[in-house]
Amino acid sequence: MSVARPRRQAGIGERRLLALTALAIAVAIGYVAFQNLNTSAVYYLTPTEAQERKIAPGASVRLGGQVEPGTLRYEPTSRDLRFILTDGVTRTVVVGKGAPPALLREGAGAVVEGFFATDLSFRATQVIAKHDEVYVPPSPSRTPPHRTP
Amino acid sequence: MTFADVGGGALRAALALALWGLLASAYAARERDGRALQSARWSALAAFVLVVAASLSMAAALLAHDFTIRYVALNNALETPAYFSAISLWAALEGSILLWTTILAGAVAYVAWRGTREIPRLATTALAVMFAMLAFFLFLVVSPAADPFVRIDPAPLNGRGPNPLLQDHWLMGLHPPLLYLGYVLFSVPFAYAVASLILGEGGDRWIVATRRSALVAWALLGVGIVAGAWWSYAVLGWGGYWAWDPVENAAIMPWLVATAYLHSVMVEEKRRMLRTWNVALVIGAFALTILGTFLTRSGVVNSVHSFTQSAIGPLLLGYLAAVLAFSVGLLLWRAPRLADSGPVGVPLSREAVFLFQNVLFVAATLTVLLGTLYPLVVEAISGAQLSIGSPYFDRVEVPIALALLFLMGVGPQLPWHGASRATLERQFAAPVVVAGAGALLALAVGLRGAAAVLGYALAAFVVATVAQEVMRGVRARRTLHGETAAGAFVNLFRRSGRRYGGYVVHVGIALIALAVVSSQAQAAEAEATLAPGGSMQVAGRTIVFDGLRDVVDPQRTQVVADLRVLDGGTGAALAPALTYYPNATAGIGSPGIRSTAGDDVYAILAAYDARSRAWATLQVRVIPLVSWLWIGGAIVGLGAVIAALPPGRRHSSAVAAPSGTVASVT
């Protein structure tokens, strides 16, 4: 395949075009990255922090706390999941759909991702169990656990 | 003598040898002293043997359940099967660093003993750099931060057992060593690059000398990443294989930079351009391997992989800072000597494609790095805790990946120095048609998103360009050498392995792209609570639940759900389970997977009736083409092997390429 080709030297205009294109690509990617960084950031809050900050209904947040003992209910046929997440001060009713993660237990830490409904209950799109062994449990998104107080 | 005595003693002796080797090789490089060099080479070999002995004594201690060693007590139990006992060598921090050190010692011995008796000054200097790195890691494994042989007194009667997730799948024996081999072998090109800077060489001898080790490191890291994705898919039970977890990011970043490097060195070899850039890429890839280890081992980022917090974090951070300060300082000092023949200029030329490819790979790396470190930065500044989720990475990296797929098809088709209009038509007419067919295929299988359709089209484009190249190559060999079609095909890969091996890699990546597009865009999912005998429908498949059964093994108990997939009447069995280990408080989900070329049926036992076994909640996904991800990974590895083999007739003894013979690309 190695055929001698005429060696063409690039003109200054071509070089400049190439450099500007490369620069434009880099700038565009940087712009897209920083734009998305803020929109994709999901803040961890405790139920108390969420109450204090008056998080708007529908806004995506992640709550960390403890599953209050005696409140975890899973209805197998309708697959409705319901429990109270507490940080010791504020209690938030969490409503979700689907079987709870195998590691979710009453009294243990949990992280829920979702949004507040207008009735101030929390609609969880994801429930992530957190336990305090050396290894972080697997979870649907394998998102980092919240350090619960 | 106990295992701990042997292992600990061997590591301390190896540290002494590494320090001696550092002095001897530095002296040998400076004074061109043959005796010092010989001494350094024997030190390298002896240190390697000693570190291997230390690893073997740890493996033996694990197999013998010697709970007087703290690491064994924490990561092994009497019930642990032999295979998982042996691979518990890398089940936790100390063992992993020991494995890392072992591979590094092997790399040092390789640098010391490759080639002939008289290794050149460049290699001698590189050897000194390697010894310095080995000394650091040996210091880690004999220091309290990561000493694997710390004893525990009194020894427990039984150990805690390995982490449940690590004794669930045979892939655990493959994924970490591959990744570590990849990580550590990057130290060889790095050491040569630094040596070249120290000696003030302007040329690319260091690139020629480390071409193969860079390729092998890149391939092992890549295959290790795919093996890790496979492990995640087969063990973690969330139906996916990639989540932009900090540890995944830590592994992919050096791989991205190394991919840029493997391509831009061709520009340096062919056109004597981008010299400073190539040194910077090698430094970057190597620094990212250390950053990855720091991120995963220090506990600064939370991740599925974060095992333990330990004092090793600050030490690794200091090491990273030292490596960066030293190598970047050297580069700035020596940059004037790295004269290029001229800047890359002609837009429609292969070197221009490589330039854009490099910009994109580096941009991909930096944006992944940004998303990985941003939460750390925000928490350090404002104290707020946040995470950057997949949407960020998907939105930023998917367009970059598509652009790279495009360049992957374009690059090999453009000649160096620039292309004429006739060349463009000859090279691209057929592939563009095939790309159109790929887009139609995507629409026909029901894909709708622009990125998905484009992904199919570009993957088809890449495969078509490769097919065209191979067909032309075969035709050329037949006319030039009078070979048969089959013979010409084989010789193409044997004689021009670097080029055609690279094409095989491209095909593997195209398959991975197809698998990612289909598995991400077209997976169907259903969840249902069933009584025994009940069934559910997912994507036209009927899944029948036959009931639950309990399985008791020495090291664990399982509740298994027996399922059948009804398609074509055979009724393939699936057995998702919840597995309980004595050292874990809750069950670990083990998915049941039925793989075919077309799709995977992936079932998870999400919940069950603990009292009477009367019901089970099952999640079933049908994931198209996902097995092609693993096959594509294997093809990438195969292509790298073809590219790494010496050209021509295979010689069993790999002799270092003499400087001056730049391996032919075109």
Q: Please indicate whether residue A144 or residue A9 has the higher confidence score (pLDDT).
A: A9
Nearest to B359 among A2, A7, A22 (CB): A22
Distance CA B14, CA B10 (A): 6
Q: Distance of CA B328 to CAs A132, B131, B214, B250, Å?
A: 41, 19, 20, 21
Contact B234, B623 (CB under 8 A): no
Provide the mean pLDDT of chain A: 76
Residue B350 has pLDDT above 60, yes or no: yes
CB pairs under 8 A between A and B: 182
Q: Tell me if B363 and A30 make a contact (CB, 8 A cut-off).
A: yes
CA angle B131, B200, B286 (to 5 degrees): 45
Distance CA B467, CA B631 (A): 19
pLDDT at B361: 95
Q: Tell me if B238 and A141 make a contact (CB, 8 A cut-off).
A: yes
| Radius of gyration over every alpha carbon of chain B, rounded to an integer in angstroms | 26
Nearest to B367 among A29, A135, A136 (CB): A29
Enumerate the H helices of B92-204 as residue ranges.
Answer: 93-113, 121-142, 175-185, 187-199
pLDDT at A53: 80
pLDDT tens, position by position, A68-99: 888 988 888 888 899 999 888 889 999 988 88
In the structure, what pLDDT confidence band is assigned to residue B586 with cuts at 50, 70 and 90? Answer: low
pLDDT tens, position by position, B414-423: 888 888 888 8
Print burial letters for A73-95: b (CB count within 10 Å at least 16), e (below 16): ebebeebebbbbbbbeebebebb
Poorest-pLDDT segment among B149-158, B618-627, B632-641: B149-158
pLDDT at B659: 37
This prediction has a pTM of 0.89
Residues in chain A closer than 8 A to B308 (CB atoms)? 134
Tell whether A27 is within 8 A of chain B (Cβ): no
Q: Please indicate whether residue A145 or residue B32 has the higher confidence score (pLDDT).
A: B32
Poorest-pLDDT segment among A29-43, B142-156, B637-651: B637-651
Could you report how far apart the first and last alpha carbons of chain B are, in Å? 59
Polymer length of chain A: 149
Q: Average pLDDT for residues B505-513, to the nearest whole number?
A: 97
Two tokens, residue B21: 């080797």
Residue B456 has pLDDT above 90, yes or no: yes
Which residue of B385, B414, B525 to mutate against A (max A Cβ within 10 Å)?
B385
The CATH number that domain A47-129 falls under is 2.40.50.140
Residue B118 has pLDDT above 70, yes or no: no
pLDDT tens, position by position, B593-635: 999 899 999 999 988 888 888 999 999 999 999 999 999 999 9
pLDDT at A38: 80
pLDDT at A59: 80
Tell whether A129 is within 8 A of chain B (Cβ): yes
Distance CA B90, CA A126 (A): 32
Enumerate the H helices of B336-449 as residue ranges.
Answer: 350-382, 390-410, 421-444
Nearest to B164 by CA among B579, B553, B631, B628: B579
pLDDT at A51: 84
pLDDT at B229: 93
pLDDT at A9: 56
Q: Average pLDDT for residues B10-22, to the nearest whole number?
A: 97
In the structure, what pLDDT confidence band is assigned to residue B227 with cuts at 50, 70 and 90? Answer: very high
The answer to whether the peptide bond before residue B399 is cis (omega within 30 degrees of 0) is no
Q: Average pLDDT for residues B121-139, to the nearest whole number?
A: 95
Provide the mean pLDDT of chain B: 88
Residue A138 has pLDDT above 50, yes or no: no
Distance CA B629, CA B641 (A): 19
pLDDT at B163: 78
In the structure, what pLDDT confidence band is assigned to residue A140 with cuts at 50, 70 and 90? Answer: very low
Distance CA B54, CA B59 (A): 9
Print burial letters for B623-642: b (CB count within 10 Å at least 16), e (below 16): bbbbbbbbbbbebbbbbbeb
The residues, any chain, with a CB within 8 Å of residue A9's CB and separated by 6 or more, are B342, B345
Residues in chain A closer than 8 A to B168 (CB atoms)? none
Q: Tell me if B416 and A142 make a contact (CB, 8 A cut-off).
A: no
Domain boundaries, given as residue ranges, for chain A: 47-129
The residues, any chain, with a CB within 8 Å of residue A89's CB and separated by 6 or more, are A47, A48
In the structure, what pLDDT confidence band is assigned to residue A148 with cuts at 50, 70 and 90? Answer: very low
Contact B436, B455 (CB under 8 A): no
Q: Average pLDDT for residues B366-389, to the nearest whole number?
A: 86
pLDDT tens, position by position, B241-265: 998 888 889 999 999 999 999 999 9
DSSP B451-470: HHHHHHHHHHHHHHHHHHHH
Nearest CA in chain B to A137: B304
Nearest to A143 among B370, B371, B387 (CB): B387
Tell whether A143 is within 8 A of chain B (Cβ): yes
The dihedral region occupied by B646, where left means phi > 0, alpha psi between -120 and 50, and beta the remainder, is beta
The residues, any chain, with a CB within 8 Å of residue B3's CB and separated by 6 or more, are B57, B58, B60, B61, B64, B66, B69, B149
Q: Average pLDDT for residues B371-399, to the nearest whole number?
A: 86
Tell whether A142 is within 8 A of chain B (Cβ): yes
Nearest CA in chain B to A39: B392
pLDDT at A134: 37
Tell me, what amino acid is at A58?
A: G
Distance from CA of A109 to the nearest CA of B (A): 13
Tell whether A25 is within 8 A of chain B (Cβ): yes
Q: What is the CA B529 to chain-centroid distance, rounded? A: 39
Residue B62 has pLDDT above 90, yes or no: yes
Q: Are strands A73-75 and A80-86 parallel, antiparallel or unpaired?
A: antiparallel
